[in-house]
Amino acid sequence: MTTTASSSHALPADRPRTAIIGAAGFLGRAFLEAYRRAHPGTIGTARVAAPGLVQMDLASPGSLPSRLADTGHREALILAGVASIVLCERDPAGTRAVNVEGTLRCAEALLAAGVRPVFASSDYVFDGLRGGYREADIPAPGTEYGRQKADTETRLLAASGGECRILRLSKVFAIERGGGTLLDEMAARLVAGAGVDAADDSVFCPTLLDDLIAAVGFVQSRDLRGIVHVCGSEARSWHDLASALASALAVAPALVRRCSIDDIQRDPRRPKNISMSNERLVRATGCVFTPVAASVARVAALWREPGR
């Protein structure tokens, strides 16, 4: 049976109750809202105290793992950590203490309590030399952020005996005006006439946030373990996306300035083609991701002037 990830973005009914570790960020807030619709008592955590969230530091999970088990949580999605690629490069020891050691302490405590860790990893574990990476391809990260993700993957798989879930994600975006995610940020600049520096050699698999949430639910429902690439089905460059958006907005094509990613981001140099194959996910779940063209059209409609 084919399940459309974006069909009302409904989570499967048999998805296990899942806590959200790191529920104050972009992804965490969205996952917690979606998961609470099915399980109103779902626990979300944050490093700093916040309304509706449990305060918890990755490195010191305290009694929370046992509490999760006692309240029927069978899994915990780990989204917490330092996500800044630049900061990881400038402070490798400090960020590694959080992203690797802290994550592993949390995961080990979860495992001891009988709660399965679900770890959000990244396409940055790859060197970006060829793209189309599959789960079996050996990571070769070129950034400290990527090395931290790859190290955590390896150690978490060993600690769990391969029973954890590791979700490799790509660039995630939402359909909302003013949200500042991938397409929205470019649309704002194009409409303002500011233009966009768009790398034609930076390739990834853009993923709609609602599709991601639904797909992760199906990973859990179908009990996929180990590494799973959870990303959109289309490989696109920044230039591809900006050009399509400029056309949909009917702005001057010259506002999209073709360049290399090396011209934009040098500290550190970014991997180039980090597109991934989601074949394992699609075969096991039947998920179908929203076409990029449809997302571009929806974002353009939000930004298009009345009557244009």
The per-residue pLDDT for range 287-304, each reduced to its tens digit, is 999 999 999 999 999 998
CA dist., res. 123 & res. 127, Å (int): 9
| Same domain as 117, residue 249 | no
| Same domain as 245, residue 154 | no
Residues 269-287, mean pLDDT to the nearest whole number? 96
Mode of pairing for the β-strands spanning 116-122 and 3-4: unpaired
Read off the tokens for 167.
């979700």
For residue 110, is pLDDT > 70?
Answer: yes
| Same domain as 177, residue 109 | no
Min mean pLDDT across 57-61, 129-133, 174-178, 195-199 is at 57-61
pTM attached to this predicted model: 0.94
Taking CA atoms, 69 is separated from 37, 53, 78, 103, in Å, by: 20, 17, 16, 18
| Same domain as 81, residue 29 | yes
| Same domain as 110, residue 82 | yes
Residue 9 forms part of a structural domain: no
The per-residue pLDDT for range 148-203, each reduced to its tens digit, is 999 999 999 999 999 999 999 999 999 999 999 999 999 999 999 999 999 999 99
Residue 27: which of 145, 151, 157, 170 has the closest Cα? 170
Q: What is the pLDDT of residue 266?
A: 76
Residue pair 186/176 in contact (Cβ under 8 Å)? The answer is no
Residue 220 forms part of a structural domain: no
| Same domain as 164, residue 193 | no
Residue 295's domain spans which residues? 171-205+234-263+270-276+284-308
Q: What residue has token string 């490195």? A: 59
CA dist., res. 37 & res. 210, Å (int): 14
| Same domain as 193, residue 62 | no
- Kindly tell me the burial class for residue 155, based on how many C-beta atoms sit within 10 Å of its own C-beta (0-12, 13-18, 19 or more): middle
| Same domain as 304, residue 194 | yes
Min mean pLDDT across 45-59, 200-214, 233-247 is at 45-59
| Same domain as 179, residue 73 | no
- CATH number, position 157: 3.40.50.720
For residue 305, is pLDDT > 80?
Answer: no
Residue 247 forms part of a structural domain: yes
| Same domain as 238, residue 126 | no
Residue pair 55/48 in contact (Cβ under 8 Å)? The answer is yes
Output the average pLDDT for the chain. 93
Q: Which residues lie closer than 8 Å to 154 by C-beta, 6 or more apart? A: none
| Last-in-domain residue among 141, 169, 197 | 169
| Same domain as 93, residue 50 | yes
Read off the tokens for 38.
């099915």
Q: How many domains is the chain partitioned into structurally?
A: 2
| Same domain as 165, residue 22 | yes
